[in-house]
Structure 1
Amino acid sequence: MGKDITDGVSQSDNVNYSEYELKNGLKVILSADSSIPSVVINLCYHVGSKDEENNKKGFAHLFEHLMFEGSLNIPCGEYDNLCLNAGGDNNAYTTEDKTNYYIILPSNQLELGLWMESDRMLQFAISQESLDTQKGVVTEEKKQTFDNRPYGSLSLEFPPRLFPNSVYGWDTIGEIDDINKATMEDIKSFFEKYYIPNNAVLTIAGDLDEKETIELINKYFGSIPRGKNSIERKLPVKDSFKSSRDFITDNIQLPGIFVGYRIPKEYTKESFALELLSDILSHGDSSIMYKELVYDKQLCSEVGAYVDCKEFAGVFYLYALLMPGVDVESVEKVVYRIIDDVTEGKLPEQDLQKAKNKFETKHALRKQSILSKADMLTHYKTLFNNAELINSNIDNYLSITKDDIASISKEFLNENNRVTLIYIPKTR
């Protein structure tokens, strides 16, 4: 079975779990929860768009699609049918740092789900026909998500400006030319390098018997061979970043201001502070940006702030969609003045406490869902090798002070560290 099982710290409101590792390097986490008769099987591979080569941008996301195109013992198109016929559901997603697959099944179908996932990991079984089909699917997805959607190109415009010459310098959708040039040899090589037990975390949460589950995991995953080569993570190199402000014409009705600041990676004091700040600035009718720009001055129809932290870098985003006839520069000045107020320590203490309360409630609610629970355990183990963060990470947010937010904002939310994109409607 591999290493001995070690129990996660258990407190009354904590997630209980156990974890171990198979001899082939597959990390396993089990979290029993009999509140509903279902199980979640979450399998995450530590590979995302940042791991792609320059001429193979989009491979991680393409592979997410290909994994539903059949495996050694499951014909193309049957994966979804097997899951649905068993009363379950499944999905997947790709980020810059990982590719995550999950299945939700009635608990008496756990063995079926483990067999299905192990079969996909066992051996490369993608056909040329499936590859050609998914190239077309990804091309269409790019058109629908980025090309034909208002402000849709933001995800393509920001990365190369924020992270020039860096592994985070492109969106997960990649480059269509690279995808169309992908060969069967390219795809097989990607599979053999990244879709291996020693680059994956398997989490099972829900109505399970731990002893029986361990036996099933060993039955279906224990004999899959370890990957031959160790994976060297591509770290962001020192890039040639320069602050910039660009205008982009788009098929939109209202102008929009979008700002991105480079910030430190996930699970840092800076990321905790800035996530709280994003909530204070724009979440809810009483938030600072909403109250001033939307409610009081009626300059904008919508405003927002959010943090996108990755394994080795992060971005703090702000945006404002303008009301008809409103001057862009006047709104920019208000947005930057609001940020300046934060750096000068003018953030109301009650706003910070309200944000902490919201974070604490949200965190507690997420731990009640077996799907969210499995996702969080897998995420923390994959990127930080520490599943216990599911219980302890909230304390990092609660310890942030108003002075922390002011000093961190001053360091990172400044004009020398930002990219501004002004979207303006095409003239007709």
Structure 2
Amino acid sequence: MKKTLLMASSLLLSCVTIQAQEVNYEEYDLDNGLHVILHQDNTAPVVTTSVMYHVGGKDRTEGRTGFAHLFEHLLFEGTKNIEKGKWFEIVSSNGGTNNANTSQDRTYYYEVFPSNNLKLGLWLESERMLHPVINQDGVDTQIEVVKEEKRLRYDNSPYGQLLPVLGKNLFEKHPYKDPNIGYMKDLDAATLDDVVAYNKKYYVPNNAVLVVAGDIKVEETKQMIKDYFGPIPKGAEVARNYPQETPITTERKATAYDPNIQIPAAGLAYRTPGFKERDAYVLDMISTYLSDGPTSKLYKKMVDDQKQALQVGAFNIPQEDYSMYLVFALPVGETSTDTLIAEMEEEIAKVRTDLISERDYQKLQNKFENQFVNSNSSVEGIANSLARNYMLYDDTSLINKEIDIYRSVTREEIMEVAKKYLKPNQHVVIDYLPEEKPSN
């Protein structure tokens, strides 16, 4: 009886915690198509101003890869009213921080300021959208910055080529086949006209969402948004028609070499549905079940018990049109990559054929409850979630109800989704090896 009461109390506490985390927001559109989301939280004197553009690495033509990532840097160069190189100085001297990031599907810019500098944050983002200075000098400068980043993060970083290897081997036609950061030859070939046209096409109000979250007065904020963003002209609608991939129906094998590693990696890669699909949520749960933490199935088996792997992981890599799913391991000693592949497949096969235990299922639910609460624990995180849910999932309210999707997933559904997507005839076996030394 005492145990039952304790469980009931824990459940009630969990429900109260989730309820207390509910995010209130208001959203509307300006006449130019800019979608606006406001979240008021006056508990601390800070405000996040962010803009997400629906443009990422996949938005390019052949021979012009990497433009979205280039723009992540280029749009800090300066504007009609911000001198070249002064952007970060303006932010830091006014007590703020800022950053940007790009994926295959979107680009996100944000500033965090003391709330009395909200107007400055709005002005900066409106300047970025309306008055960017795009000239040959800036393009040349930022292309070199991107190329250096590519050398550091991909070309000269251990296992830095693993993600590009996944894209290359899981996709044949879709732009996901090419890395988000692009190829150096494409960056070198980019002309100023190419870059100006890209800006005109994608960095327009009707291809963006503005989120203001934090210590704000709603009506005053609306007026400032209207003043700064209302005059920006609407752009042409962005049309996307990317090629569909043919399903993978037979096992494929790929070998890649990395001069920056001494320990090889073995991987099983799968093409899975885009992140809006319900099955993508289930695959999130499967990856957590397999490899999140020392008690997870793959880690306990291959690292702790059998001493075959230094590291093992399962990752659902979310993308809008198709996602990528990777299970990989690094061997211990003389363990072969074939052995790692066999052991990983054995554990995946169990998920395909048997229900996970009720105990493991409850552990999964607890982990996703905690993850959900933590994602809404800061104003900065809330701003990101609001932008992402509107722009990429077409449902802003997911910020409060996404946990309900995970709660509704059953053990039977976990088994069925694994059976649907994680079969041997649908995977690519990847041998990721140290680069062979030339023979004398």
What do the CA deviations read for 1:210-232 (whole angstroms, capped 9, x no partner)? 011101101100111111x2111
Do structure 1's residue 389 and structure 2's residue 398 form an aligned pair? yes
What do the CA deviations read for 1:127-160 (whole angstroms, capped 9, x no partner)? 2111111111111111111111111111221112
Could you tell me how far 1:124 is from its partner in structure 2? 4.0
User: Which of 135, 154, 166 lines up with 2:174 in the alignment?
Assistant: 166
Match of 2:210 in 1: 202
Q: How does 1:165-314 map to 2 (within 5 A)?
A: 165-227=173-235, 229-239=236-246, 241=248, 243-251=251-259, 252-314=261-323
Could you tell me how far 1:236 is from its partner in structure 2? 3.8
The alignment yields a C-alpha RMSD, in angstroms, of 1.5
Match of 2:372 in 1: 363
What do the CA deviations read for 1:66-103 (whole angstroms, capped 9, x no partner)? 00100111011111010000111101011111111010
Could you tell me how far 1:427 is from its partner in structure 2? 5.0
Structure 1's unaligned 5+ residue stretches are 1-9
Question: Normalized against structure 1, the TM-score is what?
Answer: 0.95
Could you tell me how far 1:302 is from its partner in structure 2? 0.6
User: Which of 147, 156, 163 lines up with 1:148 in the alignment?
Assistant: 156
What do the CA deviations read for 1:314-339 (whole angstroms, capped 9, x no partner)? 11111101112112211211100001
Match of 1:409 in 2: 418
Contact kept? 2:171, 2:245, Cα under 8 Å? no
User: Which of 114, 118, 131 lines up with 1:110 in the alignment?
Assistant: 118
SS at match of 1:362: helix
**CA–CA separation in structure 1 for the residues paired with 2:168 and 2:316:** 18
What do the CA deviations read for 1:17-36 (whole angstroms, capped 9, x no partner)? 00010000000000011122
Question: Normalized against structure 2, the TM-score is what?
Answer: 0.92
**Number of corresponding residues:** 418
**CA–CA separation in structure 1 for the residues paired with 2:269 and 2:135:** 41
Could you tell me how far 1:250 is from its partner in structure 2? 2.2
Seen in structure 2, the aligned counterparts of structure 1 residues 185 and 235 have a Cα distance that, compared at 3 Å, is same
**CA–CA separation in structure 2 for the residues paired with 1:394 and 1:299:** 35
**CA–CA separation in structure 2 for the residues paired with 1:401 and 1:300:** 31
Q: How does 1:22-101 map to 2 (within 5 A)?
A: 22-101=30-109
Contact kept? 1:124, 1:188, Cα under 8 Å? no
Could you tell me how far 1:400 is from its partner in structure 2? 0.7
SS at match of 1:356: helix
**CA–CA separation in structure 2 for the residues paired with 1:223 and 1:248:** 51
SS at match of 2:231: coil
**CA–CA separation in structure 2 for the residues paired with 1:318 and 1:281:** 9
What do the CA deviations read for 1:29-69 (whole angstroms, capped 9, x no partner)? 00011122100111001011111111211001001110010
Partner AA of 1:294 in structure 2: V
Match of 2:133 in 1: 125
**CA–CA separation in structure 2 for the residues paired with 1:397 and 1:207:** 31
**CA–CA separation in structure 2 for the residues paired with 1:248 and 1:50:** 23
Match of 1:424 in 2: 433
Could you tell me how far 1:418 is from its partner in structure 2? 1.2
SS at match of 1:51: coil
SS at match of 1:203: strand
What do the CA deviations read for 1:160-197 (whole angstroms, capped 9, x no partner)? 21011112111111111111111111111001100000
Partner AA of 2:93 in structure 1: N
Match of 1:350 in 2: 359
SS at match of 2:312: strand
User: Which of 339, 349, 352 lines up with 1:330 in the alignment?
Assistant: 339
**CA–CA separation in structure 2 for the residues paired with 1:196 and 1:122:** 8
**CA–CA separation in structure 1 for the residues paired with 2:247 and 2:62:** 17
Seen in structure 2, the aligned counterparts of structure 1 residues 238 and 285 have a Cα distance that, compared at 3 Å, is closer
Contact kept? 1:301, 1:323, Cα under 8 Å? yes
**CA–CA separation in structure 2 for the residues paired with 1:255 and 1:160:** 19
**CA–CA separation in structure 1 for the residues paired with 2:338 and 2:178:** 28
Could you tell me how far 1:249 is from its partner in structure 2? 2.7
SS at match of 2:49: strand
SS at match of 2:129: helix
Contact kept? 1:165, 1:240, Cα under 8 Å? no
User: Which of 6, 16, 32 lines up with 2:24 in the alignment?
Assistant: 16
Partner AA of 1:387 in structure 2: T
Contact kept? 1:276, 1:352, Cα under 8 Å? no
**CA–CA separation in structure 2 for the residues paired with 1:425 and 1:187:** 37
Partner AA of 1:238 in structure 2: E
Could you tell me how far 1:424 is from its partner in structure 2? 2.2
Seen in structure 2, the aligned counterparts of structure 1 residues 173 and 243 have a Cα distance that, compared at 3 Å, is farther
- Bigger CA drift: 55-64 or 307-316? 307-316
Partner AA of 2:202 in structure 1: Y
Match of 1:7 in 2: none
**CA–CA separation in structure 1 for the residues paired with 2:197 and 2:258:** 39
